[in-house]
A and B are shown apart, each in its own frame.
Chain A
Amino acid sequence: MNDRPLSFAETFFLGLAGLVGFIGLWTFLSVSGIVPRQFLPNPLDVATRFIQLLSAPFAGATLPMHLASSFERYAYGVLLAAFVGVPLGLLMGWFRLLDDIVTPIFDGLRFIAPIAWVPFAALWFGTGIGGPVMIIFAGAFPPCLINAYRGARFVEPRLIEAGRMLGTPNSRMILEVLLPAAVPSIIAGLRVSAGLGWQSLVGAELIVAAAGVGFMMVQAQGSVQTQTVMVGMIAIGLVGMLIDVLLRQGEAWLRRRRGLEA
């Protein structure tokens, strides 16, 4: 990658320095009054509010409860994206006809930001579980499909020839040649999908009427509670980081296993 890999301690302290600098600047801007308090709440207020919200309900639920209902929608959206995107990508990688039919539609649709689907998601699937899940799906679907497709298309041609010479039928070709060859690419795609799905969450929750971090933030904005909005942002950031770290670990574990196995 680059010249010299940094040691863990170095990486840790550099990261810490960045974080301290960032919070320092934030504190300075808000406490000094350069930025008016109603525009930028100060870090201490936000931290206090964060701790409060862990147990005290706001907009009908505590922060962990909001997070739990967000996570449920998120999980449905991302799983749906994976269960549709990966098989479709593999099929497109094998059947040229399907590729030619789907690719133009997909290439147009994938540039539409998930949030742009909000009105139709609400109209078609309602504001219960359906609408929000569709918006998260819209965010998470493209990388699932693209990576499965690329993985399948760029299988070593020799292996496909070997499969064909052995008389392998299409279904077996997809499951036993394309899929295993595409696994690294699929995993990478799932990780990107997981991130984009989480990013689409607030947009998705603009239209929910019950609970969720996004819902909490919309309610707080309505009553000009900037600290609560900020708490929501931080919670989303933290959970997003956590998801990414866990998936990276999972990916590394899978790669190690494959290194031994394949």
Chain B
Amino acid sequence: MGSISFQSVDKVFGGSVKALDDINLEIADKEFVAIVGPSGCGKTTCLRMVAGFEAASSGTVSVNGRPVTSPGPDRAVVFQQFALFPWKTVRENIDLGLRNKNLAIGERSELIAGALKLMNLESHADAFPHQLSGGMQQRVAIARAYVLDPEVLLMDEPFGALDAQTRVVMQEELVRISRRNPRTVLFITHAVEEAVYLADRVAIMTRRPGRIKEVLDIKAVREREAWDKYPKIEDVMDLESFVHLRTHIWKSLREEKGFKDV
């Protein structure tokens, strides 16, 4: 179970900077929702409130109907800036969450091996983060979150640091994983195509103070047009139904001054 609910959520920083204005969003269990919006509109803030790092100034953020009070491994986070422990190897970074769950060593090594394989990191298990490229570090951060098998996965621009090729591989991989083992995902991105390709729904935010401007149902289109029968992202991206959604989101974002990443 992993539903997320934002009810009339406002966030004000330092008494005067209004970052979020009346956010309402219901994310069902096992639903994949992407948030897009101009830089500084409050996407990361939304995610941090679900994670339990930040409290709403007013309104309620709940997971499974219970208001969020503190962070916990039921809501794994992939941070925008990796946040790997520099003094731990790749394996140790992934292991920490498992040790905290008091799993037996045998089970842990199995899970770690699986996560390393999934993220194609097997040959770097004993490297330290500073010995890896940005893209590899990001994959470690994803592996560290995935291995916990959390009810809710919170991903803040997880592919932001990847080169275009790796990014595509990761996107296809994420689709494969989330079809096979669906879970609730809140996914933040600047890349419109990525949002449309991955998500069941896409929420578009206005510039600061961030509000939810529009929520698009992608899943209905995906199922109707049978996107999943195309194994490659570029084939999906050529479909008229895909292009239509993408263009719609672009236009919507264009109206928000300050969106400079498209």
Contact present for A166 and B97 (CB under 8 Å): yes
Which of chain B's residues 73-115 have a Cβ closer than 8 Å to chain A?
73, 75-77, 79, 81, 83-88, 96-97, 99-101
B7, chain A: closest CB distance, angstroms: 23
Judge if B71 is at the interface, Cβ distance under 8 Å. Answer: yes
A164 adjacent to chain B (CB < 8 Å): yes
- Residues in B with CB closer than 8 Å to A181 are 87
A236–B85 Cα distance when bound, in Å, is: 42
By a CB distance below 8 angstroms, the chain A residues around B250 are none
* Residues in A whose Cβ lies below 8 Å from that of B73: 165-167
Chain A residues, Cβ within 8 Å of B144: 166
**17 A/B residue pairs, CB under 8 Å, sorted by A:** A158-B79, A158-B81, A159-B83, A161-B71, A163-B85, A164-B52, A164-B71, A165-B77, A166-B96, A166-B97, A166-B100, A167-B100, A172-B100, A176-B85, A180-B87, A258-B87, A261-B87
Task: Indicate whether A167 sits within 8 Å of B85 (C-beta atoms), given known contacts A158-B79, A262-B128.
Answer: no
Q: Kindly state the interface size class of chain A when it binds its partner.
A: 20 to 34
In the complex, A161→B70 CA distance in Å?
11
- Distance in angstroms between the alpha carbons of A261 and B92 in the assembled complex: 13
Specify which of B81, B83, B97 lies most central, judged by the most chain A CB atoms within 10 Å of its CB. Answer: B83
Answer yes or no: B72 CB below 8 A from chain A CBs: yes
Chain A contacts with B in 148-185, Cβ cutoff 8 A: 156, 158-159, 161-169, 172, 176-177, 180-181
Q: Distance (Å) between the CB of B81 and the closest chain A CB?
A: 6
State how many angstroms separate the Cβ of A167 from the closest Cβ of chain B.
4
With A168-B100, A169-B100 known as contacts, the answer to whether A158 contacts B83 (CB < 8 A) is yes
Among candidates A165, A176, A180, A261, residue contacting B71 with C-beta atoms closer than 8 Å:
A165
Q: Is the beta-carbon distance between A176 and B77 smaller than 8 angstroms?
A: no
Complex contacts, A166 vs chain B, CB 8 Å? 73, 76, 96-97, 100, 144, 148
* Contact B85 A161, beta carbon cutoff 8 Å: no
Looking at chain B, what size class is its interface with the partner chain?
Answer: 20 to 34
Identity of the chain B residue whose Cβ is nearest the Cβ of A259 in the assembled complex: B130
B87→A162 contact, CB < 8 A: no
- State which of A161, A168, A258, A261 has its C-beta within 8 Å of the C-beta of B53: A161
Judge whether A167 and B83 touch: CB under 8 Å.
no
**Residue pair A165, B75 in contact (C-beta under 8 Å):** yes
Question: Quick one: closest B residue to A169, CB to CB?
Answer: B100
Residue in B72, B85, B99, B101 whose CB lies within 8 Å of A162: B85
Q: Which residue of A lies closest to B148 (CB)?
A: A166
Which of A159, A167, A172 sits near B72, CB closer than 8 Å?
Answer: A167
Q: Judge if B49 is at the interface, Cβ distance under 8 Å.
A: no
Shortest Cβ distance from B84 into A: residue:
A162
- If A158-B83, A162-B83, A262-B86 touch, whether A168 touches B96 (CB-CB below 8 Å) is yes
Q: 17 other contacts beyond A158-B83, A262-B128, with CB at 8 A cut-off?
A: A158-B79, A158-B81, A162-B77, A164-B53, A164-B71, A164-B72, A165-B52, A165-B71, A165-B77, A167-B97, A168-B100, A172-B96, A177-B85, A181-B87, A261-B87, A261-B128, A262-B87
Chain B min CB distance to A229 (Å): 48
Determine which residue in B52, B77, B87, B99 has the highest number of CB atoms from chain A within 10 A of its CB, and name it. B87
A172 and B92 alpha carbons, distance in the complex (Å): 13
What residues of A have a CB within 8 angstroms of the CB of B186 in the complex? none
As a 0/1 sequence over residues 48 to 83 of chain B, the CB contacts with chain A under 8 angstroms (1 = contact) are 000111000000000000000011110111010101
Going nearest first, the 7 A-B pairs with the smallest beta carbon separation are: A167-B73, A166-B97, A158-B83, A162-B83, A180-B87, A167-B100, A262-B87
How far does the alpha carbon of A165 sit from the alpha carbon of B53 in the complex, in Å? 9
Q: Which residues of B contact A177 (CB under 8 A)?
A: 85
Q: How far is the CA of A162 from the CA of B71 in the complex (A)?
A: 9
A149 to nearest B CB, angstroms? 19
With a cutoff of 8 Å between Cβ atoms, the chain A residues found around residue B100 in the complex are 166-169, 172
